[in-house]
Amino acid sequence: MAFTVGISTCLDHRGRWREGRDYVYLDRRYGDALAAAGADPLLLPPGARPERAVAAIDALVLPGGDDFEPDSPYPAEIPFELASPDLVAFDRALLAAARQRGLPILGICYGAQLMALEAGGGLHHHIPLDLPAAREHQLPEPLGRHAIEIDDDSRLASLLGTRRTDVNSLHHQCIAAVGPGMRPCARAEDGVIEAIESLGPTLEIGVQWHPEKMSGPAGDAFLAAWVGACRTP
C-alpha cells in the first residue's frame, strides 16, 4: 500500500542561482533515501496551501536548511546564511497542520530546530560562541563523524537499535532547550543536543544529523525503521 511522505523544499531567496529569481530546491538524496526506505516522496514547495499539502500525505519530513536569525546581535564576523522568512513561515504552517492531523514528523537539522522552536524551545545560534567548550560540529563530508549517546527509553533508541552510534555533523546552530511536550533524547559527548522527540503518542522526532547522507544505524537503517514505524497503526 502506498505511503506518501511529504518533504518541504528549500528556497533560495537571495539570487544565488540567478539574479531576480527565487528557486525552490532539495538535495535529491532526501527523496532517494525515503524511496529506498519504502515511502513515496512528495515535494512540498512554499506557495502550496499547508492544510491541503498535509491532507495529501501520510507523514512529514522537514529537511535541513539555512540558519535561524538570532534574537540578539552577534559579532559581525560570524557568518549567518539566514533562511527565507517566507520558507520559515511555510514550514511553521506545515508543522502546525501536521501536528493538528497527528501525522508522524521527522525534522532534520534545520527541521529539528524548527520543531523545538515551535514547541516553545530555543537555540544556540553559533555553537563556538555560545558553547565554547563544545567540540567542532561542522565536520567535513563525507567522512566527518562524532559519537552520540541515545536515551535507553526513547523512541529513537528503539528505531536505531543502539544506544551509541556515530553521526555526521554539518551545523553551527543547535537546540538549546525544548518546550513542553518534547524532550532531548540524544546528545553528543560534549553535551550538545543531537535529537529530540515528542512525549505524546505521535511519532515526532528531530535529529541534528543528516541521515539521508549516511548508511548504517543513524542513516539508511534509521530512515527505513522510521518509515516502518510510521506505517504501523
Asked about 149 being catalytic, the answer comes back as no
Q: How far apart are CA 116 and CA 210, in angstroms?
A: 17
Catalytic residue of the set 124, 126, 172, 210? 210
Q: Do the beta carbons of residue 44 and residue 94 sit within 8 Å?
A: yes
Task: Find how far residue 75's CA is from the centre of its chain.
Answer: 26
Q: How far apart are CA 121 and CA 158, in angstroms?
A: 25
Catalytic residue of the set 10, 172, 212, 230? 212
Here the cell at position 9 is: 523544499
Asked about 124 being catalytic, the answer comes back as no
Q: Which residues have a Cβ under 8 Å from the Cβ of 56 and sit 6 or more positions away? A: 4, 6, 42
Please count the CA atoms within 13 angstroms of the CA of 20 that sit on its side-chain side.
0
Catalytic residue of the set 109, 174, 185, 230? 109
Asked about 189 being catalytic, the answer comes back as no
Q: How far apart are CA 211 and CA 203, in angstroms?
A: 17
- Cite the active site residues: 109, 210, 212
